[in-house]
Amino acid sequence: MKNQLRDILEKLAKGEINVEQALEKLKFFPYEDLEFAKVDHHRFLRRDFPEVIFGPGKTDEQIISIAKKISEKEGNLLITKVSQSVYEKVKEIFPDAKYNSLAKLIYVKRDTSIKGKGKILVITAGTSDIPVAEEAYLTADVMGNKVEKIYDVGVAGLHRLFGEYEKVKEARVIICVAGMEGALPSVIAGITSVPIIAVPTSVGYGASFHGLSALLAMLNSCPGGVAVVNIDNGFGAAYLASMINRL
Amino acid sequence: MKNQLRDILEKLAKGEINVEQALEKLKFFPYEDLEFAKVDHHRFLRRDFPEVIFGPGKTDEQIISIAKKISEKEGNLLITKVSQSVYEKVKEIFPDAKYNSLAKLIYVKRDTSIKGKGKILVITAGTSDIPVAEEAYLTADVMGNKVEKIYDVGVAGLHRLFGEYEKVKEARVIICVAGMEGALPSVIAGITSVPIIAVPTSVGYGASFHGLSALLAMLNSCPGGVAVVNIDNGFGAAYLASMINRL
Amino acid sequence: MKNQLRDILEKLAKGEINVEQALEKLKFFPYEDLEFAKVDHHRFLRRDFPEVIFGPGKTDEQIISIAKKISEKEGNLLITKVSQSVYEKVKEIFPDAKYNSLAKLIYVKRDTSIKGKGKILVITAGTSDIPVAEEAYLTADVMGNKVEKIYDVGVAGLHRLFGEYEKVKEARVIICVAGMEGALPSVIAGITSVPIIAVPTSVGYGASFHGLSALLAMLNSCPGGVAVVNIDNGFGAAYLASMINRL
Amino acid sequence: MKNQLRDILEKLAKGEINVEQALEKLKFFPYEDLEFAKVDHHRFLRRDFPEVIFGPGKTDEQIISIAKKISEKEGNLLITKVSQSVYEKVKEIFPDAKYNSLAKLIYVKRDTSIKGKGKILVITAGTSDIPVAEEAYLTADVMGNKVEKIYDVGVAGLHRLFGEYEKVKEARVIICVAGMEGALPSVIAGITSVPIIAVPTSVGYGASFHGLSALLAMLNSCPGGVAVVNIDNGFGAAYLASMINRL
Amino acid sequence: MKNQLRDILEKLAKGEINVEQALEKLKFFPYEDLEFAKVDHHRFLRRDFPEVIFGPGKTDEQIISIAKKISEKEGNLLITKVSQSVYEKVKEIFPDAKYNSLAKLIYVKRDTSIKGKGKILVITAGTSDIPVAEEAYLTADVMGNKVEKIYDVGVAGLHRLFGEYEKVKEARVIICVAGMEGALPSVIAGITSVPIIAVPTSVGYGASFHGLSALLAMLNSCPGGVAVVNIDNGFGAAYLASMINRL
Amino acid sequence: MKNQLRDILEKLAKGEINVEQALEKLKFFPYEDLEFAKVDHHRFLRRDFPEVIFGPGKTDEQIISIAKKISEKEGNLLITKVSQSVYEKVKEIFPDAKYNSLAKLIYVKRDTSIKGKGKILVITAGTSDIPVAEEAYLTADVMGNKVEKIYDVGVAGLHRLFGEYEKVKEARVIICVAGMEGALPSVIAGITSVPIIAVPTSVGYGASFHGLSALLAMLNSCPGGVAVVNIDNGFGAAYLASMINRL
Amino acid sequence: MKNQLRDILEKLAKGEINVEQALEKLKFFPYEDLEFAKVDHHRFLRRDFPEVIFGPGKTDEQIISIAKKISEKEGNLLITKVSQSVYEKVKEIFPDAKYNSLAKLIYVKRDTSIKGKGKILVITAGTSDIPVAEEAYLTADVMGNKVEKIYDVGVAGLHRLFGEYEKVKEARVIICVAGMEGALPSVIAGITSVPIIAVPTSVGYGASFHGLSALLAMLNSCPGGVAVVNIDNGFGAAYLASMINRL
Amino acid sequence: MKNQLRDILEKLAKGEINVEQALEKLKFFPYEDLEFAKVDHHRFLRRDFPEVIFGPGKTDEQIISIAKKISEKEGNLLITKVSQSVYEKVKEIFPDAKYNSLAKLIYVKRDTSIKGKGKILVITAGTSDIPVAEEAYLTADVMGNKVEKIYDVGVAGLHRLFGEYEKVKEARVIICVAGMEGALPSVIAGITSVPIIAVPTSVGYGASFHGLSALLAMLNSCPGGVAVVNIDNGFGAAYLASMINRL
């Protein structure tokens, strides 16, 4: 490898190739080392997404310290799964920060431009799934999408879902949030042909085993078109939905 | 205890009470010992149910040997989850025995009287659930019920289920057989008000974990009216359904 | 589809068919769309059941807000698995609401008519299973059933169970609540021939794994006639028992 | 409900409303019954997708019987996870059927038009993941997508992945197939900003627990943009990728 | 059954048999109904064991109420896994009750007679296993056994165990308490030939999964002579050890 | 340490202590090194137990090779969980070897003396548990115990168990073998006061999870006096029972 | 055994062998009893490692009491996973004790000599893994190693890892701490050839199942050179790394 | 990034720096892109390790095809976990290939130079663990280490282990292979101070859950100095041991 590199450099030093040719050669250099810089450039392109701080497992101090660094940058901000007390401290750094107590989400939305091409729909099976759904809703919103929500239309009362069928039809991507038997994504998949991101929730007790029942059900969803994210991961679902919605 | 018993017997011996009174006293004997005889009598009443031999874990020899003893009795017979080779040997003992190769079920139906008051409906989510459903269907049939079946109406195509809604309405008990995400019982429960016995099946692969996904989903079924039996236990579901249908 | 629908409507508009014929045609409309209305009608019939709010996973605010909407309706009410503090707020909306602190159940029983045909019996294996049993007992009661209870008759002392055999015999449906080894439903099933709804409880420690041991035991119950609901789901058992008891 | 329906029909019969108005009213009919017809129409639109028969859990007879019905229709066909022996029989019905013995996939590709807007890339971590990847590759191909593949670029030798970075950059959707530690999707997600569908495989032994290790790893993928389908579900991943690629 | 019973009673009434003969016949009555009384008598014999109230899952009120009933009886008393606050209330009923705060055990030891024939030895692997070991030690003591203890002699420092080999040799039954890798019972079994009751503890963190690691290890103990009770079940181990020690 | 040892030896060499004193000192040598010899001696005492070769995981060659070495010793022999083909080869070495095809157990019983003080009773819940029970029965027999068996008396028909109550009463140790719900040990424990060794079996299907259901149930057995060995470990139960029976 | 021992001692007493010969004979004494003393001596050699008190499962009193005994010895000290309140009490015994509140680790570092031959590198995937990493870092430091750390270089941003490649290259042993998908050790193993000790952390939520996802991923690490310790066991990783670094 | 690169190249083209200086600069290039080449170089250094083909999950064809490519290179070769039939084909390519049928390992050992500094010791708890141990033994051997083995010295007979204490003392790294209760590594760790790599095996049945019991036990090993690889992963243990032994 090093010899190949030396060859290129020596040709450049000898004037046998010019700088542009050297750059070009390095671009297709084995193992794409310079491509790796593009990776980074690539990440630059992604800057259109807001900054995100994942709250779980971090101390308040760590969160505030990361927030401070970010505060020098522009753009939107999300801090996930944190308590009200963190919000109080964050507000001192970002006076325009808001807090959704159900989702335990801090968000700063300065950039309100719409980047997604269609609508993202967030559906929940039950009332108890709303905290996770709100995390998804707000994340999708802050990431520059038009977002709709339909809550509490689980399989126990499918007529309520069918009553909202217009909204389902209009969505470009659907985030489907459900705990317990986690059956809703399968039903939705049967009546639409857009991608569905299923979010199992830890809602339930006993044999729900903190979301395992919904998770397994969703992974085994019979109709095509469903993929699954982690239990309670409203953020992850919305982030993926945003990616898809920008395609 | 023994003294109380001796008292009763001595009173009887002395003629202070008669045999009927002794029997009555023994009936309310502490710890209901004689009631236990009623238990047995009770089992007699249940003789209306066919004889059943559970196949799994038994050697062919054990099954044939039990079948021989039963052959002296009248009434119907079921042998569950056995191979064709067992059937060949059973046919020599019960020439009128039949074999359902999907359900791996041997059955003898001599008594064709109807004992259930309404109709039992067996529904499956998919084609692959049919072996378990057939076990349930034939068990319910041999136990003296009117039985209907609707196969392959899973949540991926609910319109097929709704297309059979008349049958659903007419059922007095529903046996709902589903693997993978196990969502069908929840949907059925949302559109009927009769008891639903959910049978998870080991159909599926990967994260179905041999029926665990469907089992957990069914246990977490959000709408009321659903109870669950063991994975692949079509027999157990039909037996319970028969009990309910005779109420 | 829509064209088929338009055809029917145009024939009606032209007088080629009358309203009854149109209704009939719509009844057999492909995919039973109008049958779906019957589904709803069907749900109407179920209004005889009390309103239920499942507490777990809902905020106090959500529970109160749902309760307020329901307060305009008549009939009984159940709010499951909620704390005393919720009760205080609910009492302001429903002054006749009562609270069972063991079951953590709020209930309003205005309609005291008996709708079930026989008696529902609630049995527990141990003293520690009583909270779940009380949830079942009260639910069955508020749903219009005659209900009996026998507590603390687990397999460690079967003579206590046999001592209550009269009660067992009189039941039309049995709800059997047990934690730890979950053996009681199997024993009960051996001495009765009525449907048994088994409720595993999270009672126990160590290898009970929060009710998993009892759940698995009950699913593997050897004698027929047993179906299982979720761990600690006294409500679900009683709801299903009520359905069966109304047959 | 029925009365509401009768009202509309009677108004139409009496000429109080015209057919269009009746249709409009029915469109907003409670519980969207007629919308449900649109659901079906919607499914019609989806007919652009090939017919699919899921092999697992079906008998050879069932598969052939379903294939026969389908043979009257046009379009492409996929039969998943079946043995060579099924293929021999299917070839008699579909003489142009092909078989991929690694993926255990039968496919008929008559319609070769490209329906996806970009390229789908299928990546595997190891050689042993290829069967699942081939299922995904062929499914995506038969569903009308341009598909690329990069096999055996797992985290043990990331330079091989970076050597193929050009291909990664060009993809619109990425299907990432990995067993064992399931780390590849996380790495890919760190260097792209397109949706990644992760497919855990049952490749491995011991503590891979038949794909559980890869499944859990993928569900916990730290960078955003990853969703997961069932273990070994190459088909499901490709179906979802096709949906996304048509957006 | 009832006829057989009537026969016996009629023969007695007619003087064909006397009371003793009737009793004898009833003793060997089919299904041993009267033997069941012996069962109860049998339990009487067991009254030599102290009264026990299992704390977990019971409210303080339930425990106190049961304690009150027991207070009328003589003999020793154990209340397991309860807090100091329960003890305060129990002391009012049983002024001679003592509390071991490590084991969370209340005990009353009035009967100090030795009923076991040999010595019971309680061994722990680590310091953190002591609470469970103390539950076993005190239970065995209150049940009338000579008890020894050797704490903190786990496999990390076997020389400490061998340093206490004399004590090990003298034991008639060994209770071996260990968390984490649960290896100690296997080692002990290799150097003794007396029964070993292994008690896994929930000591540890991470992949100990609340005692599962120790439980599985102990169940798989290679040398013979080891049986296992529930995680943290010091009481159960001591109760069984007492039974064995009285043989 | 070595210095301490040298001291003792030097004192012996100098005649300051005699051999007996040296032995005594070494006996109390730190870390009981010489005690360890007693351990071995202790093992000698255990030679009264038959030689055992555990079959699972060993190649036929390994088993035969170990058997050959043992063939030079006297006494009984057990080879567990091996196929008929191993037996054919073992018979050439031990012409008096017998094979129980249910238990897959080879045994040589030359020493027929009775070493256990009482009777060991082997009980099974079902017919399918017999292979494991036979392993226990034969092991206990070859180890020099009087052994009784009662098969197929599970909780589904407790009257059969009570019908054998005399046998239960006479046992000094009970081995209770059950699969599925594993409830039998709890019931037995409620009617006896002798030690019960519970053996879960892998009998069952679906949610029995290869014996896990029975294992967990037995570990959570509510009445005292029950300890558990590994799933299907009839040998281990009988070995422990033999130890207890020799006390 | 004892006879063999007596033989040696008698020969020594008779002068047939001298002390050195006796020692030599005892050294090769069957079962190496005297070698066992060497074991202890061996432990002596290990005294170079600091004293360690594992906090979890111990009461504050137990920890303080052990600490007091140790305080008489020289050398360094570690007390793992304890709260600030324990530290307050320990500081009274060891005035030079320090406390790391992230790692919940008390440490006394009196001996600052370097015993490891190379550098140990501690890497974390995320910020939330830092508490476990600090436990490893401080342990390795107190055990006499040169230690480096690189935090927050998970697979979501591999360029950050490559940016620290110099440090990676210089390490002799690497401790790699990661939660969630646990992919980092596999990546590190692909770019180095030194031993990697992987520490899964309980960081994450939902399907991380308290570290199970990372644990399984690490156990299935595809590239060679990775071994795993318990979840959150920073101490154990550092202790093993110290052993390796002293080789 | 690209600009920095262009700067370096332009300076080189202008003669402001020479080729060596350019190479040096690129070496410390941000994100270590050229360092990545070193990574590869690094891999070169690792070429001292033999080529390895992991068998599981690969078809015979894939293995042979990879083997053919490798056959052009020099050095040793390992093919893990393959059947005799693969060996027959490999022998045609590598006539000097050997096959160990216990370990199911093909190996070619041309380079017999010793690269490890000390001795690697492979210990097994039982006879059934030998296949995994042989995989470790041969791998370590082919990788250029002096290797010793001690088989069948499990905790059931620790005197056998202590009888081999000399060998234990001489090892520089220990690979400890055990199934069932997996206790051996903890015992070994208590008597040595060298790194121990624990390999759980799937030996056992029932609650060993295919090696889970041993895996969990080893992860929870109380004494320090133990790290764990995947179940049955003899190769991985030996590879890591070789790395450590070359330090």
Could you tell me if H42 lies within 8 Å of chain G, comparing CB atoms?
yes
What pLDDT sits at residue H50? Answer: 82
Q: Are H146 and H139 in contact (CB under 8 A)?
A: no
Is the pLDDT at E132 greater than 50? The verdict is yes
User: CA distances (Å), A133 to each of A98, A160, A232, E63, in order?
Assistant: 17, 18, 9, 43
Top pLDDT among B125 and E165 is at: B125
E208 to chain G: closest CA residue: G230
Could you tell me if A236 lies within 8 Å of chain D, comparing CB atoms?
yes
> In chain E, how long is the greatest CA-to-CA distance?
77
Q: Are B219 and B182 in contact (CB under 8 A)?
A: no
**For F11-32, what is each residue's pLDDT tens digit?**
888 888 888 887 766 643 433 3
Q: Could you tell me which of D210, E152, C10 has the C-alpha nearest to residue G69?
A: E152
Lowest mean pLDDT among B228-237, C117-126, F24-33: F24-33
Could you tell me if B26 lies within 8 Å of chain E, comparing CB atoms?
yes
H/B touch flag: 3 or more CB pairs below 8 Å: no
Could you tell me if D39 lies within 8 Å of chain B, comparing CB atoms?
yes
- At residue E123, the 3 state secondary structure works out as strand
- Average pLDDT over chain G, rounded to an integer: 85
What pLDDT sits at residue E33? Answer: 35
> Quick one: average pLDDT of B220-227?
89
Q: Are A162 and D30 in contact (CB under 8 A)?
A: no
DSSP chain F: -HHHHHHHHHHHHTTSS-HHHHHHHHHT-GGGHHHHHHHHHHHHHGGGSPEEEE-TT--HHHHHHHHHHHTTS-S-EEEES--HHHHHHHHHH-TT-EEETTTTEEEE--------SSEEEEEESSGGGHHHHHHHHHHHHHTT-EEEEE-S--GGGHHHHHTTHHHHHHEEEEEEEE-TT--HHHHHHHH--S-EEEEE---S-GGGGGGHHHHHHHHT-SSSSEEE--TT-HHHHHHHHHHHHH-
Q: Are F31 and F5 in contact (CB under 8 A)?
A: no
Top pLDDT among C27 and B123 is at: B123
The band of E15, judged by pLDDT with boundaries at 50, 70 and 90, is confident
> Quick one: average pLDDT of H203-228?
92
> What residues pair up with A51 in beta bridges, in sequence order?
A77
* Candidates D156, D189, D216; nearest CB to G186: D156
Helix (H) and strand (E) counts for chain D? Answer: 11, 9
What pLDDT sits at residue F36? Answer: 33
pTM of the model: 0.87
Q: Within 13 Å, how many C-alpha atoms sit on residue F166's CB side? A: 7
- Backbone phi, then psi, for E56, in 5-degree steps? -60, 135
In chain B, the percentage of residues whose pLDDT exceeds 70 is 87
What pLDDT sits at residue F43? Answer: 38
- Average pLDDT over chain H, rounded to an integer: 85
The band of F61, judged by pLDDT with boundaries at 50, 70 and 90, is confident
* ipTM of this complex: 0.83
A/E touch flag: 3 or more CB pairs below 8 Å: no
User: Which CATH class, in words, describes the domain spanning B119-245?
Assistant: alpha beta
User: CA distances (Å), D43 to each of A191, B164, D48, G247, in order?
Assistant: 7, 19, 10, 68
Neighbouring chains of A at 3+ CB pairs within 8 Å?
B, C, D, G, H
Give contacts of D26 with chain C, Cβ < 8 Å.
5
Q: Are C182 and C141 in contact (CB under 8 A)?
A: no
For residues C104 and C87, give the distance between their C-alpha atoms in angstroms, rounded to a whole number.
9
Is the pLDDT at H30 greater than 60? The verdict is no
Q: Hey, are the CB atoms on B159 and D211 less than 8 Å from each other?
A: no
CB within 8 Å of chain E, chain H residues 106-145: 125-126
Angle between helices D212-219 and D184-191 (to 10 degrees): 30
Tokens found for residue A90 = 């964050």
The band of B10, judged by pLDDT with boundaries at 50, 70 and 90, is confident
- For an interface test with B, the pick among A177, A184, A213, A231 (most B C-beta atoms closer than 10 Å) comes out as A213
> Quick one: average pLDDT of C60-77?
82
> Quick one: average pLDDT of F58-62?
88
Q: Could you tell me which of B104, B101, B125, B100 has the C-alpha nearest to residue B179?
A: B125
Tokens found for residue C158 = 């079967």
CA E87, E89, E93 angle in degrees (round to 5)? Answer: 105
Classify strands E196-200 and F51-54 as parallel, antiparallel or unpaired.
unpaired
Lowest mean pLDDT among B97-106, C170-179, F158-167: F158-167
- Backbone phi, then psi, for A212, in 5-degree steps? -60, -40
- At residue E235, the 3 state secondary structure works out as helix
For chain A, 247 residues long, give each residue's pLDDT as a single digit of tens.
Answer: 456 677 888 888 888 888 878 776 665 343 333 323 333 333 333 446 788 888 888 888 888 888 887 776 678 899 999 999 999 999 999 999 999 999 999 999 998 999 999 999 999 998 899 999 999 999 999 999 999 999 988 887 776 777 677 788 899 999 999 999 999 999 898 878 899 999 999 988 999 999 999 999 999 998 889 999 999 999 999 999 999 999 9
Distance from CA of E18 to the nearest CA of F (A): 24
What pLDDT sits at residue H136? Answer: 98
Helix (H) or strand (E) holding B175, with range, is strand B171-178
- At residue E22, the 3 state secondary structure works out as helix
What pLDDT sits at residue B33? Answer: 35
**For G22-70, what is each residue's pLDDT tens digit?**
776 665 343 333 323 333 333 333 446 788 888 888 889 888 888 887 7
* Candidates G180, G218, G223; nearest CB to D156: G223
Alpha-carbon dihedral of residues C150, B27, C245, B151, nearest 10 degrees?
100
* Segments making up each domain of chain B, as ranges: 1-28, 31-108, 119-245
Counting every residue written for chain G, the total comes to: 247
Q: Hey, are the CB atoms on A128 and C230 less than 8 Å from each other?
A: no
Q: Terminal CA-to-CA distance of chain B, rounded, Å?
A: 37
For residues D211 and D217, give the distance between their C-alpha atoms in angstroms, rounded to a whole number.
10
CB within 8 Å of chain E, chain G residues 145-164: none
- At residue E175, the 3 state secondary structure works out as strand
In chain G, the percentage of residues whose pLDDT exceeds 70 is 87
CA E51, E54, E59 angle in degrees (round to 5)? Answer: 120
Positions of chain D with pLDDT under 50: 1, 27-47
Is the pLDDT at H45 greater than 50? The verdict is no
> What residues pair up with E100 in beta bridges, in sequence order?
E105
Distance from CA of G11 to the nearest CA of F (A): 9
* Most confident of the following: A42-46, B124-128, B226-230: B226-230
Classify strands D119-124 and D105-108 as parallel, antiparallel or unpaired.
unpaired
What pLDDT sits at residue G56? Answer: 86
Could you tell me if H220 lies within 8 Å of chain E, comparing CB atoms?
yes
**For B158-207, what is each residue's pLDDT tens digit?**
767 776 777 888 999 999 999 999 999 998 988 788 999 999 999 889 99
Counting every residue written for chain F, the total comes to: 247
Top pLDDT among G167 and B160 is at: G167
**For H102-115, what is each residue's pLDDT tens digit?**
999 999 999 899 99
Could you tell me if B211 lies within 8 Å of chain D, comparing CB atoms?
no
What pLDDT sits at residue D25? Answer: 66
Lowest mean pLDDT among B25-29, B80-84, B215-219, D148-152: B25-29
Classify strands G77-80 and G98-100 as parallel, antiparallel or unpaired.
unpaired
Q: Could you tell me which of G70, G32, A165 has the C-alpha nearest to residue D39?
A: A165
Tokens found for residue G179 = 């939660």
Give contacts of H22 with chain A, Cβ < 8 Å.
9, 13
* CB burial string E163-174: b at 16+ within 10 A, e below: bbbebbeebbbb
Is the pLDDT at H66 greater than 90? The verdict is no
